[in-house]
Amino acid sequence: MTLVALHTRYVALETIRVPIAVVGTVMFPVLSFLFFVVPFREISGDPVASTAAVSQLGLFAVFSVCLFTFGVGVADDRSTPWDPYVRTLPVGAGPRIVARLLNGVLFALLGLLPLLLTAALLTEASVTPTQALLGLGALAVAGVPLLFMGVAIGYSLPVKAAVPVAQVLLLPLAFGGGLFIPPEGFPAWLDAVSQGLPTRAGRDLIIAGTTDVDLPATALPVLAAWALVAGVLAVRAYRRDEGRRFR
């Protein structure tokens, strides 16, 4: 347990020593909200639409943490000679993985906090305590396939490839999943594609928790399928990486 705390502190310290990276991850969702939601009264004045917008951007915050903290962060770790040194210390892989997970949760929460504050102060968005809890729970579930995606990238690519891959995945999946623009405005073909994306399924799940909108029947199977595929990729990448490092 103390080793988990030690490694969590270490990863956090290392992350905040490059403040601009933290600011980017933490501020991007709330800035998007300020520019694309708050000025439009038809959304920000409508309790359901604005709550949905907060839910979408909340998932976006988690998504970018998954891709950058886990994808790029892990790839970066693997590239430094410090990593093999840490592996000579009397500590197994467990505390290091848990520490990284806790840091992901920490920075995702840091991204959510200003978003929730802004939403409460500047829009009509509102949730009951039950809805808030459901929303957070749904957010955690929706984050699972995205987390695996990040881990798979981190363990299979060198850092120079992980950065562009993370960026290339982030925007289309976020846009296509309706995290920026509500999918109600999508043309039919795009909506059909969108239904199959993990971001869309996650978004729908969260919104079903935070508002009275019904959960589409496809959402949970789609999330489960993506979690399975990304999970298998992540485990394979992790194992292959061990194999390569042991050469």
Shortest CB 236 distance to other proteins, Å: 19
The residue among 21 and 215 lying less far from other proteins, judged by its C-beta, is: 21
The residue among 85 and 189 lying less far from other proteins, judged by its C-beta, is: 85
Interface pick for other proteins out of 82, 164, 193, 236 (rule CB under 8 A): 82
- Specify the 3-state DSSP secondary structure of 72: helix
Shortest CB 223 distance to other proteins, Å: 35
Counting every residue, how long is the chain? 247
What is the amino acid identity at position 189?
Answer: W
The residue among 13 and 121 lying less far from other proteins, judged by its C-beta, is: 13
CB atoms within 10 A of CB 59: 31
The residue among 10 and 175 lying less far from other proteins, judged by its C-beta, is: 10
- Site size for other proteins, by CB under 8 A? 22
Q: Measure the CA–CA gap between 138 and 182, rounded to whole angstroms.
A: 18
Give the tokens for residue 205: 């799940």
Sequence-ordered list of residues with C-beta below 8 angstroms from that of 208, at least 6 positions apart, any chain: 138, 214, 215, 219
The residue among 189 and 246 lying less far from other proteins, judged by its C-beta, is: 246
What is the amino acid identity at position 63?
Answer: F
Sequence-ordered list of residues with C-beta below 8 angstroms from that of 67, at least 6 positions apart, any chain: 146, 149, 150, 153, 166, 169, 170
The residue among 4 and 224 lying less far from other proteins, judged by its C-beta, is: 4
Interacting positions 88-147 with other proteins (CB under 8 A): 88-92
**Among the residue ranges 78-86, 128-136, 155-163, 167-175, the one whose residues contact other proteins (CB under 8 A):** 78-86
**Among the residue ranges 42-50, 52-60, 81-89, 196-204, the one whose residues contact other proteins (CB under 8 A):** 81-89
Interface pick for other proteins out of 1, 42, 85, 184 (rule CB under 8 A): 85
Give the tokens for residue 216: 């589409």
Where helices occur in the chain by DSSP H, the ranges are 2-16, 19-36, 41-44, 47-65, 73-79, 82-86, 93-122, 129-156, 159-176, 188-195, 198-210, 219-245
Using CB under 8 A as the criterion, what x/- string covers residues 208-237 for binding other proteins? ------------------------------
Interface pick for other proteins out of 39, 84, 158, 164 (rule CB under 8 A): 84
DSSP secondary structure code for residue 66 in this structure = I
Q: Measure the CA–CA gap between 200 and 204, rounded to whole angstroms.
A: 6
Using CB under 8 A as the criterion, what x/- string covers residues 1-40 for binding other proteins? -xx--x---x--xx--xx----------------------
What are the residues binding other proteins (CB under 8 A)?
2-3, 6, 10, 13-14, 17-18, 80-82, 84-85, 87-92, 245-247
